Structure formats: C-alpha cells, structure tokens
C-alpha cells in the first residue's frame, strides 16, 4: 500500500517528539522541505537541513523543546488526505485552537500558513494543523 509522504512526515515528527528525540530523518521532497520551513518560521522546530545522499536526499528536522524538556509541538494532524481533499475558501480559512495553533495551506503561491493566506487573500488545500 502506498502511503502519503506528508502523512509519513507528520507521523515521524509526532513519534520523535513523543520519544523526546533531538532530530528526525526522512526522505526529502520539495513539499516536506516547505513544511519544515514553515514549522521553523512558526517556531515549532529548531532547524532543518537537506543532506545529499547517493540515491536520495534526506531531510533532517531538529525538534525544539522547552527549558525542562517540555514539548513545543503538542500535536500534528493531517487534514487533507489523498482519499479526501479538504479545501478552504479565502473567506473561510481554518483557525486552529482559536488562533493558538497553525494551519498550513497549499495555495497557488505555494505553501503558506492560514495567517499569511488571509493577508494574501487566497484560499487553498488545507494540508495540516499543528499546535
């Protein structure tokens, strides 16, 4: 069975976060790198990098923890799946935990947070929620 690469990425981050691991590795793709960039911009992860490999590139995400090893990421949830796509219009963008979380959308201008989509006045496919 083929799995969704973005769901795989979110699951790997969720599992590494629960196990309090410093880093998590996964096969790289443009979509995953863009999600990692947004997670870093929003302050959910420390950093990310793409390591070149002989057959495929590896995306390494450094997770972020608080002073007493408390998790910065509470949970990640895949919204739009290959079997059921979820779209949001520009006037009905999703809010995660009343604005405390972040929604990542795939728009015509690339991957953006719901806040940025509102500024741009665009809608798109709701990729995931993070809080």
What is the secondary structure of 88-105 as a DSSP string?
A: E-TTS---SGGGTSEEEE
Q: Where, residue-wise, is CATH 3.30.1490.10 in the chain?
A: 76-130
- The topology under which CATH files domain 76-130 is Dna Ligase; domain 1 (3.30.1490)
What CATH code would you report for 5-63?
A: 3.30.1370.30
User: Is residue 11 pLDDT above 70, yes or no?
Assistant: yes
pLDDT at 33: 95
Q: Would the pLDDT of 2 be above 80?
A: no
Task: Report CA-CA distances (Å) from 34 to 1, 54, 82.
Answer: 25, 22, 19
Rounded CA separation 68/70 (Å): 6
Task: Indicate the helix (H) or strand (E) that contains 62.
Answer: strand 58-63
* pTM metric for this prediction: 0.90
CA–CA separation, 59 and 9 (whole Å): 10
């Amino acid at each position: 069975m083929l799995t969704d690469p973005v769901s795989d990425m979110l699951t790997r981050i969720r599992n590494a976060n629960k196990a309090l691991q410093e880093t998590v590795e996964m096969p790289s793709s443009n979509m995953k790198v863009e999600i990692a960039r947004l997670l870093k911009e929003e302050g959910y992860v420390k950093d990310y990098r793409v390591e070149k490999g002989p057959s495929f590139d590896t995306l390494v995400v450094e997770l972020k923890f608080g002073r007493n090893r408390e998790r910065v990421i509470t949970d990640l949830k895949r919204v739009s799946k290959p079997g059921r796509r979820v779209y949001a219009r520009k006037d009905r963008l999703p809010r995660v935990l009343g604005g405390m979380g972040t929604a990542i959308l795939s728009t015509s201008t690339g991957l953006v947070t719901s806040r940025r989509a509102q500024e741009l006045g665009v809608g798109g496919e709701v990729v995931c929620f993070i809080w």
